[in-house]
Amino acid sequence: MARLITGLDAARVRENAARIREEIGGAELLAAVKYVPVEELEVLAEAGVTLLGENRAQDLAAKAQAHPGTFRWHFIGQLQSRKVKDLLPYVELIHSVASDSALRQLERHGTPETEVLVEVNVSGEEGKAGIAPSELGVFIERCPVTVAGLMTMPPFATDPEESRPYFAALRELAREHDLRHLSMGTSQDYRVAVQEGATIVRIGTSLYE
């Protein structure tokens, strides 16, 4: 089990955020806070980091309730359809819509203004979450809310360059479907992701160390 990130220093986070923002240009820096306890979040606000991404619906709701109006929230974890209703009051974007059951819940609880990203399994890894690229068009047509873009997680690799083909493929899919957002890239490979068109990068370790 990964340890919680505690003892954050606002000056250090601010310095890291400034460096990352310079590297990513116009893309948005999203702080991944899965392992950041609720009591540490005020340090992020002090450091000027206000776009946060949480992997667990229950934790997102608790953190958002503890800091009302302070942060913008995105859901970046694997989406359970039964959690859609719980997430919608707090998030401006869900990054991981990839199932028929999620679409049904979005139809029940979303509005035409609700925005989501569709998760795409660009690599074709068996057992990995995401829509197959060949099924993306039909899935988007069936989505009852606004599809603002796409998200992917490339296969694990120690060399960021190995992620480039997957990021490029997602960019082409977004272009084909006229979608504006690309959520791709983490601490390990965000520089490559931005070169391939990422508009949102999900950063954890590089922001906090």
At 66, which amino acid appears?
A
Residue-wise pLDDT for 155-183, tens only, equals 999 999 999 999 999 999 999 999 999 99
Sequence-distant (≥ 6) Cβ neighbours of residue 117 within 8 angstroms: 93, 94, 95, 96, 97, 147, 148, 149, 150, 151, 181, 183
Q: Is residue 5 part of a domain?
A: no
In the predicted structure, residue 135 carries a pLDDT above the cut 60: yes
Predicted pLDDT at 1 = 52
State how many domains the chain has: 1
Lowest-confidence segment of 68-72, 105-109, 123-127 by average pLDDT: 123-127
CATH number for position 68? 3.20.20.10
Q: Is residue 2 part of a domain?
A: no
In whole angstroms, how far apart are CA 2 and each of 34, 35, 77, 83, 150? 10, 8, 16, 23, 27
Q: Give the whole-angstrom CA distance, residue 96 versus residue 105.
A: 14
Range of the domain at 169: 10-208
Residues recorded for the chain: 209
In the predicted structure, residue 29 carries a pLDDT above the cut 90: yes
Q: Is residue 3 part of a domain?
A: no
In the predicted structure, residue 30 carries a pLDDT above the cut 80: yes
Mean of all residue pLDDT scores within the chain: 96
Residue 119 φ/ψ, nearest 5 degrees: -80, 130
Q: Are 166 and 152 in contact (CB under 8 A)?
A: yes
pTM: 0.96
In the predicted structure, residue 24 carries a pLDDT above the cut 80: yes
Q: Give the whole-angstrom CA distance, residue 192 versus residue 199.
A: 12
pLDDT band with cut points at 50, 70 and 90 for residue 3: confident
